[in-house]
Amino acid sequence: MKTEKIEIFDTTLRDGEQVPGCKLDKQEKINIALKLDELGVDVIEAGFPISSPGDFEAVQKISKIVKNAKVCALTRANKKDIEAAAKALQYAKKPRIHTGIGTSESHIKYKFNSTQDDILERAVEAVTYAKQFADDVEFYAEDAGRTDNLFLAKVCEAVIQAGATVVNIPDTTGYCLPSDYGEKIKFLKDNVKNIEQAIISCHCHNDLGMATANAIAGIINGARQIECTINGIGERAGNTALEEVVMIIKQHEKLGFHTDINSVMLNELSTLTSTTMGMFVQPNKAIVGANAFAHSSGIHQDGVIKRRDTYEIIDPREVGINESSIVLTARSGRSALAYRFKNIGYDVTKTELDILYQHFLMLADTKKEVTEKDLFTLMNSYSKKQLINHA
């Protein structure tokens, strides 16, 4: 089946790095950028060059060494920011300037003490100026999620007219319902007359836990780029998680999309990002959490041991994890215990298993998880008792 490509725009090094405590030094940013390029992302948002000399240098260095991806730098809608971004990107093979301004009533009134007309003018000026430095200019309408659709359409049309190649529709505050976000994208597709000259991008935050669902609603309704981060890190509750959208697109072929991401590297990228940033991944995190492929209840374990896909929709090897794990707890069943004994070299009979299982349950009730070492101890004491019984 012919599928349409969804561009993956990674902003781990910009929106992700804004998280308190996650700041990276130049070398750390470079290491992650090189891995993102290998992973197959289409765009790496490398930083916000005007924000600090360190970030400027990091964007500059990343621009020099990234081989395949477009390298993007963020700016506000002013000349100084745009000049800094252009300079930092000057060695990039495929540079992109990402400029924009708040478009919601709240931003216009309280952030800028301004008017819609003035914001529209500043948006167009920023894109026009950025075009002097780069062919590829992405415009973000900050807080688009809460922006009136008619005004948003007017802004999009004007910035595309000024040369924007991508229009980014951020749900900056993570407020939208997936149905509302999807409708917003459809509204732009239907009402911006030059929309075919640009790609619509989804940039969703996770304040209500809907960042991934919103991005998917966006592409179903006509967007063709998703902005996301590894492990979903980002301001406040984070951004759309890259590994989640990539695997949703892969698992749900009926959507008719593909990405160029080499999913086998997802686990490696997750670990690299979390260890470099010191931002640990919650164990129940989809795709890359420690428990994402771990089974601990007896019913599930029995199913997975018989056939993996009874309780797993993704083969762990597809995301770079060697195998599913069968965790032993007081909720585990006999087949899980037999399986784990077999893994350490003991092929137990049914009678042996019955006896061992009773010992196992007594132990399991006293601890959170029964380990491999515990299994050896159990087997050892069982064998000794057998010897005593036979003596």
Chain residues in the site for Zn ion (CB under 5 A): 15
Q: Give 66 or 204: the residue with its C-beta nearer to ligand KIV.
A: 204
Q: Which residue, 61 or 203, is less far from Zn ion as judged by CB?
A: 203
- Give whichever of 37 and 142 is closer to ligand KIV, judged by the CB atom: 142
User: Quick one: what does residue 243 bind among Zn ion, ligand KIV, none, with the CB cut-off 5 to 8 Å set by partner type?
Assistant: none
Give the span between the Cα atoms of 333 and 349, in whole angstroms.
Answer: 15
Shortest Å, Cβ 93 to ligand KIV: 23
Tell me the backbone φ, ψ of residue 8, rounded to 5 degrees.
-105, 115
Residues 6+ apart with CB under 8 A from 133: 82, 83, 85, 86, 89, 95, 97
Tell me the closest approach of the beta carbon of residue 235 to Zn ion, in angstroms. Answer: 6
| Residue 25 C-beta: closest distance to Zn ion, Å | 22
Q: How far is the CB of 284 from ligand KIV (least distance, A)?
A: 25
Q: Which does 214 bind (CB under 5 to 8 A by kind): ligand KIV, Zn ion, none?
A: none
> Toward ligand KIV, which CB reaches closer, 9 or 357?
9
- Binding at 225: pick from Zn ion, ligand KIV, none (beta carbon under 5-8 Å per type): none
Q: CB of 142: closest distance to ligand KIV in angstroms?
A: 4
Output 20 or 53, the one with its CB closest to Zn ion: 20
- Rounded to whole angstroms, the maximal C-alpha distance in the chain is 95
Residue 96: contacted member of Zn ion, ligand KIV, none (CB under 5 to 8 Å, by partner type) = none
Residue 141: its H or E element: strand 136-142
The total number of residues shown for the chain amounts to 391
- Nearest CB to ligand KIV, comparing residues 72 and 336: 72
Of these partners, Zn ion, ligand KIV, none, which one is at the site of residue 140 (CB under 5 to 8 Å by kind)? Answer: ligand KIV
- Find the shortest distance in angstroms from Cβ 160 to Zn ion: 21
Residues 204 and 178 sit within 8 Å (Cβ to Cβ): no
Binds 63, which of Zn ion, ligand KIV, none (CB < 5 to 8 A, cut-off by type)? none
To the nearest whole angstrom, how small is the minimum distance from the Cβ of residue 171 to Zn ion?
A: 9
Of the two residues 76 and 186, which places its CB atom closer to ligand KIV in the complex? 76
Convert 205-218 to b/e letters by CB count within 10 Å (16 or more is b). Answer: bbbeebbbbbbbbb
Look at residue 270 and give the partner it binds from ligand KIV, Zn ion, none, a contact being a CB closer than 5 to 8 Å depending on partner kind.
Answer: none
| Radius of gyration in angstroms for the set of CA atoms belonging to the chain, rounded to a whole number | 26
Among Zn ion, ligand KIV, none, residue 142 binds (CB under 5-8 Å by kind): ligand KIV
- State whether residue 37 is helix, strand or coil: helix
Q: What burial class does residue 127 get, using C-beta atoms within 10 Å of its C-beta: 0-12 exposed, 13-18 middle, 19+ buried?
A: buried
Angle between helix 116-131 and helix 79-88 axes, rounded to 10 deg: 30
| Tokens of residue 66, six digits | 């990234």
Positions that interact with ligand KIV (CB under 6 A): 15, 140, 142, 168, 170, 172, 203, 205
Give the span between the Cα atoms of 19 and 325, in whole angstroms.
32
* CA geometry: angle 298, 299, 305, nearest 5 deg: 85
Q: Which one, 237 or 330, has the nearer CB to Zn ion?
A: 237
Measured from each CB, the residue nearest to Zn ion is 15
Residue 198, SS3 per DSSP: coil
